[in-house]
Amino acid sequence: MDTGLFIQVILSGLSVGAIYALVAVGFGVVFNATGAINFVQGEYVMVGGLSAGMLYEAWDVPVLVAILVAIALTTLLGVLTEMGLLGFGRLRTPASITIATIAIAVVVKGAAMLISNRDTFALPSLLGPGSLQVLGASTSRQTLLNLLLAVLAVAALTLFFQRTKLGTTLRAAASDSETLQTFGVSYRTTARWAFAIAAAVGALAGAGLAPLTVMSFDSGTLLGLKGFAAAMLGGLGNPRGALAGGLMLGVAEAVMSGYGAAAYADVVAFVVLLAILTLRPTGMLGTSRAVRT
């Protein structure tokens, strides 16, 4: 076996897997706060990457500024998502919120198609062009940056949910929102924070993906489904499980592509999702019953 090729395949998988992990983390944040699955999460990634690319390529905005503006815009989209679901929609049950997010995802995708005129956009890496040599294999600098972003995001959110008052409140909201309101804590407020955080993390994933591939209005759907598969693999609502699930899924796809079955690489996520839902719905790193951590 060609050791250099194997290492390069693994590194490629880790780079994309870090993006899947960030998407999975976004799913977990909303799930922890509302008990619902937010299928707009993939569109947050698309909006983050596409808007940053448009700002950089079409309007010559510096890349770092473009990324920060894109994260801000996507976070606003997250707040608007919550307003559409819980404000105007007045939805409260996890099932109704989940179904409504599918409709919102379609609207966001359509709006992105009109705004971008179906064009594709990309970003340069913040670490500059060129590659790095790792154990005889060549990989882009963006690979290391994506891994770093995923690890830092997971560490920050783990501390946030476990050590801060707001994080604890977000976790408690989905478990017993009525009791929480008796203590003067608004369910709307906790949900809004959750959607805003999930959108920001999604935009971060989009910014990390844009230097690796072009972004278009239809980039988000498949990314969302793969991120959901990673979230289920690691245990929905568990940030550390999301990181592990995303990396494992990315490596599995890269191995499939690198060794002659590239046409079937996208199938891996769906096979994993079906297997997890059938054999262990709480995820490989979850407990025997569903909990939010």
Could you read off the pLDDT of 41-56 as tens digits, one per residue? 999 999 999 999 999 9
Q: Indicate the angle between helix axes 187-209 and 141-163, nearest 10 degrees.
A: 170
Cβ(23)–Cβ(230) under 8 Å? yes
pLDDT value at position 166?
83
Q: How far apart are the first and last CA of the chain?
A: 41
pLDDT value at position 284?
75
The dihedral built from the CA positions of residue 18, 67, 44 and 111, taken in this order, carries a sign that is negative
Q: Is residue 289's pLDDT more than 50?
A: no
| pLDDT band for position 291 (cuts 50, 70, 90) | very low
- Compute the half-sphere exposure of residue 71: CA atoms within 13 Å on the CB side of its CA: 13
| pLDDT band for position 290 (cuts 50, 70, 90) | very low
pLDDT value at position 32?
86
**Average pLDDT of the chain, as a whole number:** 89
pLDDT value at position 180?
65
The correct answer on CATH 1.10.3470 for the domain covering 3-279 is: yes
Q: Is 133 helix (H, G, I), strand (E, B) or coil?
A: strand
Residues in contact with 212: Cβ distance below 8 Å, sequence separation at least 6, in sequence order = 15, 16, 140, 142, 146
pLDDT value at position 83?
94
Put simply, whether the predicted model's pTM sits higher than 0.85 gets the answer: yes
| Averaged pLDDT for residues 176-185 | 66
Look at 1 and 241; give whichever has higher pLDDT: 241
What's the CA gap between 211 and 19, in Å, rounded? 12
160-169, 171-180, 184-193: which range is least confident on average?
171-180
| pLDDT band for position 128 (cuts 50, 70, 90) | confident
Could you read off the pLDDT of 217-267 as tens digits, one per residue? 999 999 999 999 999 999 998 899 999 999 999 999 999 988 877 878 889
178-192, 209-223, 261-275: which range is least confident on average?
178-192
Q: Is residue 14's pLDDT more than 60?
A: yes
75-79, 133-137, 138-142, 180-184: which range is least confident on average?
180-184
pLDDT value at position 241?
93
Q: Is residue 124's pLDDT more than 90?
A: yes
Q: Is residue 176's pLDDT more than 80?
A: no
Cβ(17)–Cβ(82) under 8 Å? no
Cβ(195)–Cβ(79) under 8 Å? yes
pLDDT value at position 288?
45
| Domain limits, the chain | 3-279
31-35, 81-85, 176-180: which range is least confident on average?
176-180
